[in-house]
Amino acid sequence: MKRRTLLTVGGGALVALGAGWTLTRPDPQTGLLPGAAMAQSADGEAPEVVDMVLGDPDAPVEVIEYASFTCPHCASFHANQFKALKQNYIDTGKIRFIYREVYFDRPGLWASMIARHNDNADFFFAFSDVIYAEQREWAASGDPATIVEALRVLAKTAGLDDATLDACLSDGAKAEALFTWYQENAERDAINSTPTFMIDGQQYSNMAYDEFAGILDGKLG
């Protein structure tokens, strides 16, 4: 599914981290909370973005999924093909699976910032399942404040508290690092639709499970 890139503003800026913030509502343009404009890492450098990985790190085949948390095709993939891939190929040590977010819109970035709040892969993949399962509900309104509040509700059901959510949603440095990381990935691997897969460096579009399994079996010999 080809979609427009919505996060660039004024020739390439991440988002407009402007004034007019309140203590209880996110900025209507960015969705981030007060403090994001000044947030940075302790040493002044951009935070490191880590890959979210499942499976044996020494598996013979590597699969990278590029996906957006707001893409309905990605939600369908994770509700169907991904479950079978995890059972038959990831959990059995046949493939190393890497998930990389694509930020075609701001809500996808906000969801990612919550999922990555502690860079823990177990939490990330568990919360990703929730994000996709509830995608129609939390992403439906189109109103930034409503969307962020819906994501906060989902995050609280996953065990996060308000302080943690305030911290991750006010981390402007991480938001910018994530968007830069996405741009670099998209340019290098020619990503312009989601979901897109890189299987041992070769690009594939969305496909049925049997076709996916056939490609993996061919590479596994």
Chain segment 53-76, per-residue pLDDT in tens:
999 999 999 999 999 999 999 999
| pLDDT at res. 46 | 78
Contact 115, 123 (CB under 8 A): yes
User: Looking at the DSSP assignment, which residues form a beta bridge with residue 64?
Assistant: 98, 198
- What DSSP assignment string belongs to 41-102? -TTSSPPPPPPEEES-TT-SEEEEEEE-TT-HHHHHHHHTHHHHHIIIIITTTSEEEEEEE-
The pLDDT assigned to 25 comes to 40
Residue 43 is predicted with a pLDDT of 56
Name the stretches of the chain with pLDDT < 50.
1-26, 28, 31-41
Residues in the chain: 221
Tokens coding 127: 């919360």
Domain boundaries, the chain: 52-220
Count CA within 13 A, CB hemisphere, residue 103: 22
> Looking at residue 138, what is its pLDDT?
97
The reported pTM is 0.83
- The two structure tokens encoding residue 120: 């823990």
Structure tokens at 133: 């399962």
Q: Does 3.40.50.1100 match the CATH number of domain 52-220?
A: no
Class of residue 34 by CB neighbours under 10 A (exposed 0-12, middle 13-18, buried 19+): middle
Q: Which DSSP letter does residue 187 get?
A: H
Confidence (pLDDT) at 198: 98
Q: What is the pLDDT of residues 197-211, one digit of tens each?
A: 999 999 999 999 999
